[in-house]
Structure 1
């Protein structure tokens, strides 16, 4: 299995999992724009949004809505930025939606995505806060 997201979904690679459901998984981006930056992926290997089976469209969007609320409720963000690349600039060829916590004045401008890192144990703390907000 060459797809890094398929390997995360299968449990072969570690990730700070935020949501684990029958058709969808969400986990923290290893190189977040801001701490709490979540990636939502279908379990099934799907490369782009046009490839997403019709039966997953509504669950995918509903879960995106839940994650948008969770970054506000669980992390104290004022809102979120959500983005998805299809082929061009898609770093992993597996459909994924970025849910990035936002706060006014956080410095994110346009499509320049600065990246940060988590300190030891910090990713799991953020994932836990998001899991709690989702429950």
Structure 2
């Protein structure tokens, strides 16, 4: 998608503070962090939301989870705990319609739900 902000970051057209990258996934610091550690994990392939993943994207989904584990270890929150979440659709608060997961930690996070 030409005008997608995360696609522009993946292509190097916009700056980002990268913390992890492989051939399928990019992870970078959120510009409005909600926790001491707040990293976004995105597929390099444009996928609008979790609902747009297909059966053919099963390997990509696994790569996103593996990247989240790597980020948690690298950022020092793997042992203390972290939140790994995605917002899907407007009612969830999804603002950028490129699938992305938040890795958040570095302090005790409030209960959800």
Q: 1:37, 1:100 within 8 Å by CA — same for their partners in 2?
A: yes
Please list the CA deviations of residues 36-82 of structure 1 after superposition, one character each: whole Å capped at 9, or x if unmatched: 31000000100112323222121111111222222226xx9822111
- Quick check: which one's helix share is greater? 1
Report the count of equivalent residues.
106
- 2:49 corresponds in structure 1 to 48
Pair 65,11 (structure 1): closer, same or farther in 2 beyond 3 Å: same
- 1:5 corresponds in structure 2 to 6
- 1:84 corresponds in structure 2 to 86
| Aligned-residue RMSD, C-alpha | 2.0
- Taking the aligned partners of 2:11 and 2:36, their CA distance within structure 1 comes to 24
- Taking the aligned partners of 1:58 and 1:16, their CA distance within structure 2 comes to 23
1:67 partner SS: helix
- 1:60 corresponds in structure 2 to 64
Q: 2:20, 2:67 within 8 Å by CA — same for their partners in 1?
A: no
Unpaired runs of at least 5, structure 1: 112-135
Unpaired runs of at least 5, structure 2: none
Q: TM-score, with normalisation over the residues of structure 2?
A: 0.82
- 1:116 corresponds in structure 2 to none
Shift in Å, 1:110: 4.5
Q: 1:77, 1:103 within 8 Å by CA — same for their partners in 2?
A: no
- Taking the aligned partners of 1:58 and 1:19, their CA distance within structure 2 comes to 15
